[in-house]
Chain A
């Protein structure tokens, strides 16, 4: 690895971390689309800043772009508040308008400006190491690294200072307001951080990847944990992992770095979506199958409990009477036998003591819905996990 490669991976990783932190809260606040809007509508801010300074890395660009980001949020909320259109429609109205103003500004001045729409959309990470920051003539590293580094430090400091406030206003706006933590201040604070991060990351990864880096790692983490701090940690991990492996994927395929990172983000999400231990598609399907079996088991046990007549408890009768497929009846019988809930004597089924107690308890639970008494059953049976 040469130093340019290391620098690119470092920039990509810092961008990923800086995006994952506000992204986690955006996902929890169901505001993923807002980050898409911000990433596009900051374009006129960047363009105007660039015209003034002629420098893509000027702090003025960040200030102006962050300002346009906030304007986007305010406009969306204003249109939504009229009650004439829904939030997603308002977002769809605002950001293309602002984005197209940026596009026209670039096109009108294309001749004397080094800024094109392609670079805006997908960024140019590969070129980042060429733009150096010189402090009194000494090369201290790529400019983008410093910019995103500073933004990341501020983001982390704000996260640590206001973690409690972010959590309470995200979970329960009403409570936050009644306790004196103005949800509006926290909301606009988060929007400002998201805008600034977007601008800082923009130049390196472009408008589309910024959205992917904000939303995909957080959405992936959401499927894996039920703890906010762990969700933040996992988002950061998935972001950095995708940034670095995306870089090497691009290296192997000789393709766009931004495109490769986004692809990895998508793949990681897909894998977790399928295989996450409790919220994944496969786990949910398995759980539903278990629940079906257990409902059948309970139906079966209840039937045995209600009937003493031998003919009602004959194995063949059960198949006909409860109207099950052969396979299903077999699975249920085996499950009951395995748990020592029934005895089969001459093809006549009867409940054991254990099966009898279990049935009574289960029926009690279903009727009263009081679960304190059957906490121990929950581990064995998915059915009772609510």
Chain B
């Protein structure tokens, strides 16, 4: 009997979107990520899970070149990140920016187009149109002129998502997009992420809520300074890996 399920396709035959080799990142000479090897196949919706301080955000930042690793390399579709910027969109943690900054929702989303413009060139009508479309996709068109501090936490997260969508990238990196958002927004966001996957995009999410991993994601990476495991959720999301990652006896209560 042959199983035609997409996730059963051997990793070796799938196109690799992101490849991380021997990556080590240190803050003040103390390694926070230790010798990470990781292959993320194209078209997966992947959660990165691990305890606080496991280096989840650091991994994303190192892949995106925001942090300089002390060893190792990263490639996006077989080329260094610098050459593939246009293929990648990034949603930082909501708390990483000052929401009192004097700007509007539309303006923040327009920032997503800056990468395709390059230095000096200014956004024009085309960029504005793309930003409005992205706002509509996340259900925030009515708030386009709103100053960003006047938005709720969930709305701010949608704005960040819209800013990534406007980049029209192939690979999306998101740092805890569900933190501090209400249930409605969480569902809205996960639906958009699933749509992205359906369109063949690769989505990588730093995630905290272990309960929702099997429901939201099809791929998972366990991380705790070192890589514990990576692969399809249905194969590797089990008590064994959770215990190895979190260091305590873990029981997945809702696994089907």
- A-side interface residues toward B, CB under 8 Å? 28, 30, 83, 161-165, 167-168, 170-172, 174-175, 177-181, 222, 225-228, 230-231, 368-372, 375, 385-386
Contact = CB atoms under 8 A, between A and B. Distances in A.
B104 interface: yes
Given A164-B123, A174-B61, A386-B152, A228 B102 contact: yes
Contacts of A171: 97-98, 101, 103, 108, 111
A180 B85 contact: yes
B96 A172 contact: yes
The secondary-structure label for the interface of chain A is helix
Contacts, number: 89
Interface in B106-160: 108, 111, 114-115, 117-120, 122-123, 142, 147, 149-152
A371 B152 contact: yes
Interface of B: 28, 61, 64-66, 82, 85, 88, 90, 92, 96-98, 101-104, 108, 111, 114-115, 117-120, 122-123, 142, 147, 149-152, 163, 182, 184
Contacts of B122: 163-164
26 contacts: A30-B98, A165-B114, A165-B120, A167-B111, A168-B111, A168-B114, A171-B98, A171-B111, A174-B61, A175-B92, A175-B111, A175-B163, A177-B64, A178-B65, A178-B90, A179-B114, A179-B115, A181-B119, A226-B147, A226-B149, A227-B104, A228-B102, A369-B182, A386-B150, A386-B151, A386-B152
A170 B28 contact: no
Nearest to B184: A370
Contact of A222 (B102, B117, B184): B102
B92 A161 contact: no
A165 B119 contact: yes
**Which of A161, A170, A179, A181 counts the most B-chain CB atoms under 10 A from its CB?**
A179
A179 B64 CA distance: 9
Contact of A226 (B102, B111, B115, B184): B102
B68 to A, nearest CB: 11
B138 to A, nearest CB: 13
Contact of B150 (A177, A179, A385): A385
B142 to A, nearest CB: 7
The 4 closest A-B pairs by CB, nearest first: A179-B115, A226-B147, A178-B90, A174-B92
A260 B103 CA distance: 33
Contacts of B88: 178
Contact of A170 (B101, B104, B115, B118): B101
Contacts of A385: 150
A369 B120 contact: no
B117 A164 contact: yes
A174 B90 contact: yes
A106 B186 CA distance: 64
Contacts of B152: 369, 371, 386
Given A174-B90, A174-B96, A177-B65, A372 B142 contact: yes
**Which of B85, B90, B102 counts the most A-chain CB atoms under 10 A from its CB?**
B102
